[in-house]
Amino acid sequence: MESNVSVGLLGLGVVGSGVIKLIESHQEELAHQLGCNVNVKSALVRDLEKARNVDIGDTYLTTNPDDVLQDPDIDVIVEVMGGIEEARRHILKAFEAKKHIVTANKDLIALHGPALQEAASRNGCDLFYEASVAGGIPILRGLTEGLVSDRIQKIMGIVNGTTNYILTKMDCDGVSYESALQEAKELGFAEADPTADVGGLDAARKMAILARLAFYTNVDLEDVEVSGISDIQLEDLQYGKKLGYMMKLIGYAQIHEHKLEAHVQPTLLSRNHPLAGVKNEYNAVYVYGDAVGETMFYGPGAGSLPTATAVMSDVVAVVKNIRLGVNGRRHIKPLFKKELTTPDESFGKFYFRLHVKDEVGAFSTISTLFNNLHISFERILQTPFIKEELAEIVFVTHQTSLLKFEEALEKLKSLDVVKEVKSHYRVEGDADQ
Amino acid sequence: MESNVSVGLLGLGVVGSGVIKLIESHQEELAHQLGCNVNVKSALVRDLEKARNVDIGDTYLTTNPDDVLQDPDIDVIVEVMGGIEEARRHILKAFEAKKHIVTANKDLIALHGPALQEAASRNGCDLFYEASVAGGIPILRGLTEGLVSDRIQKIMGIVNGTTNYILTKMDCDGVSYESALQEAKELGFAEADPTADVGGLDAARKMAILARLAFYTNVDLEDVEVSGISDIQLEDLQYGKKLGYMMKLIGYAQIHEHKLEAHVQPTLLSRNHPLAGVKNEYNAVYVYGDAVGETMFYGPGAGSLPTATAVMSDVVAVVKNIRLGVNGRRHIKPLFKKELTTPDESFGKFYFRLHVKDEVGAFSTISTLFNNLHISFERILQTPFIKEELAEIVFVTHQTSLLKFEEALEKLKSLDVVKEVKSHYRVEGDADQ
């Protein structure tokens, strides 16, 4: 058996504790894979005195980053401290000391991934970040190794557990957004300040990372358009159900003729779609490849031990590379120059819910508007008299461009018979008729 | 750019043609990944004159295996000829000539995988077989790399597209086994002789391969108990539906205290289970890990191009290893000595359908029998008078051992009030109440 591998931790919170537990409890399997033991030599923490819910064994706790970053015994550093600037500085310093980095930090990788990858390669170091997207689901390896020979065209992800939990509760139990959010907080599926989750930013970070790897192009976080779930009305879930759809916060990234389209938004998803079965706090990433067709990777998107398995799969990869002497050599540069789709190049189906004056010819006026834009309807539902003299109309269009959708939306708002456009959503997949 | 990589094919059928198409159409991505071009130099075929539905370009066709096996220009040989003995001989000869092997041959790997792996390692060669299980789904990499740091406890697979198509049709359209099979044949989802598929052998081969990799132990094909779907009655699907279950051919492999349980059998699966959404010819593998919890990998289980993506992901891995000079070094020997569970160590829930005499005390006699064996019921359905003086009783037990199940089954058959035990199935997951 070769000499042991020493790991240093930056951070000892939820994921860091999971890493310690996993190494402790799965030492036999790890040693079998690697031909040596793995131990956590030291961990950078904020507070040495804080009570921990994990037995840290011989791990040395320190508040001085250099105790970890400059320790010659440490080969691999696991960054699970979160935040951006401090983590980034530590990682760059670690690369200079020729340490390999495994990180679970999606915020950091979404913003600075390509630059950090460059720094890693320059120093002959590995930088792996499987845990940064969809927790325990090995989706980054799925893309970069499993589907490496395919040309991936589209990714759709349910990559935020908080919002998926909230939307599942709203859909199954018919409760409002506010009570579902409250329940999610009580169960620990939502943070005290859930803004980044419910606003869609967290999902956007993950989609930027996924899209980079899938499409071989430098996707920046600001390339991903974002809208969140906090304005979603129960009515739209109920109409969706009638039409065969369910509301999901879908991260969408597509490449078409080398042009990128990426967004995160609440979407009415067909109940026949593989992603429709992804409930509660679970995550899944649906990948459509030119040759392979439809695939999906499903699992827990967060949690101490699930995320730790992703971290440790990266540590195992680093250690195997150390044994083989091949670290820092698998970095692939972007293949395509990034170009974003314009609204006339982006296509989709759209759901509208309108309040209209309940008078003769109202619907005819609306359908003429859509007809003139060459947008046709796939499904229409009309409920008369929801309030005095108001009817509620719900319809789903066939495929049309985003440009035409936006034009239709503007024109609808200016129509005299339209009292209010209550809501509109993208629609994905075909519902049962 | 380094010199090109030459691939040799053994066989040019459905998968072989897919490999040629994929290399041709995705050359840009492959070259970007590998820093060199990949070309198929030669292919071993049975009939040089046969019309092919693929443009083979410069590929040299030959009926002499040595033209491929002994060609010094060829680094990687892709075995997609099928069959067992001939393929095995060719592969062993290829290893002696220091060629790396990528194979899609599940029959061969299920029977001879460990011995071939030994031969590969001895010669410093790679042996990869991602395409042998579940076509385009990168499940072997998911197990051996993505979930490498976890301790996998259980795998459940829908790993045969033919049977899943048939059972989906029976469930959704209410057609008989025979007509569903007929339809599957017409659509090309079932072969002219579907015995290996409908009998469960094909799924058992895949489960043996999966279990070996997941549990680090030498699982043999004969360790997997098999029963097929050809006796399934529509009645049981319909009762299943009433109880919240659907019938699936489930490959099951579990390790518990280092003891292995593996079987392939028609199973009533809860409609809430992630695998329940896997319809038609699709495959999926559900993996339960100690730390990660529930994950699932979903995609096409067969087909020319999907299977070719799996083959080519292996070719890419081999070529990267060649570039790095690390072939043949990642073989892990079994960690555990295999031991199989005995019937008193295997647990499950069971569904029974009985015809009983419709007389006072009949059900009481049956429930006393189960009571005496300490088996309790989870759900009971009774339909009186299906024929004169016969009632049909359907029930699902709570968890019990296989030993007790078998004892109950024997005793039921000998009861005077029981006219016939019409069927019994394993049940997985909890149905809605």
CATH for B401: 3.30.70.260
CB pair distance less than 8 Å for A136 and B293:
yes
Q: Is the domain of A147 the same as that of A294?
A: yes
Give the pLDDT confidence of B79-129 residue by residue, as tens digits: 999 999 999 999 999 999 999 999 999 999 999 999 999 999 999 999 999
Residue B329 above 80 pLDDT? no
Which positions of A are catalytic? 206
Q: Could you tell me if residue A114 is inside a domain?
A: yes
Average pLDDT over residues B304-313: 96
Task: Measure in Å the smallest separation between the Cα of B147 and chain A Cα atoms.
Answer: 6
Q: Is the domain of A53 the same as that of A174?
A: no
CB < 8 Å from A in window 101-160 of B: 130, 136-138, 141-142, 145-151
Q: Could you tell me if residue A155 is inside a domain?
A: yes
Q: Is the domain of B147 the same as that of B294?
A: yes
CB pair distance less than 8 Å for A292 and B298:
no
Q: What is the model's pLDDT at position B383? A: 77
CB pair distance less than 8 Å for A313 and B277:
no
Q: Is the domain of B284 the same as that of B264?
A: yes
Q: Is the domain of B277 the same as that of B151?
A: yes
Q: Is the domain of B13 the same as that of B49?
A: yes
Q: Could you tell me if residue B331 is inside a domain?
A: no
B206: annotated active-site residue = yes
Q: Could you tell me if residue B277 is inside a domain?
A: yes
Interface check A300 vs B, CB under 8 A: yes
Q: Is the domain of A251 the same as that of A225?
A: yes
Task: Measure in Å the smallest separation between the Cα of B304 and chain A Cα atoms.
Answer: 9
Q: Could you tell me if residue A335 is inside a domain?
A: no
CATH for A29: 3.40.50.720
Residue B1 above 70 pLDDT? no
CB pair distance less than 8 Å for A138 and B147:
yes
Q: Could you tell me if residue B337 is inside a domain?
A: no
Q: How confident is the model at residue B204 (pLDDT cuts 50, 70, 90)?
A: very high
Structural domain span for residue A284:
139-300
Q: Could you tell me if residue B338 is inside a domain?
A: no
CATH for B191: 3.30.360.10
Q: Is the domain of A154 the same as that of A267?
A: yes
Residue B433 above 60 pLDDT? no
CB pair distance less than 8 Å for B316 and A148:
yes
Give the pLDDT confidence of B346-390 residue by residue, as tens digits: 999 999 999 999 888 888 999 999 999 999 999 998 876 667 788
- Interface predicted TM-score (ipTM) of this complex, two decimals: 0.92
Task: Measure in Å the smallest separation between the Cα of A31 and chain B Cα atoms.
Answer: 10
Interface check A2 vs B, CB under 8 A: no
Q: Is the domain of B276 the same as that of B163?
A: yes
Task: Please report, in tens digits, the pLDDT of each residue of chain A (433 residues total).
Answer: 457 899 999 999 999 999 999 999 999 888 888 888 999 999 999 999 998 889 999 999 999 999 999 999 999 999 999 999 999 999 999 999 999 999 999 999 999 999 999 999 999 999 999 999 999 999 999 998 888 889 999 999 999 999 999 999 999 999 999 999 999 999 999 999 999 999 999 999 999 999 999 998 989 999 999 999 999 999 999 999 999 999 999 999 999 988 999 999 999 999 999 999 999 999 999 999 999 999 999 999 999 999 999 999 999 999 988 888 888 876 667 777 889 999 999 999 999 999 999 888 888 999 999 999 999 999 998 876 667 788 999 999 999 999 999 999 999 999 999 999 999 999 999 876 5
Q: What is the number of structural domains in chain A?
A: 3
Domain boundary among the residues B269, B290, B324 is at B324
Q: Is the domain of B213 the same as that of B128?
A: no
For B291, the closest of A22, A146, A297 (CB atoms) is A22
Q: Could you tell me if residue A334 is inside a domain?
A: no
Average per-residue pLDDT in chain B?
A: 93
CB < 8 Å from B in window 276-295 of A: 276-277, 282, 289-295
CB pair distance less than 8 Å for B142 and A138:
yes
Q: Is the domain of A224 the same as that of A281?
A: yes
Q: Is the domain of A239 the same as that of A290?
A: yes
Instruction: Give the pair of three-digit tokens for residue A197.
Output: 């989750």
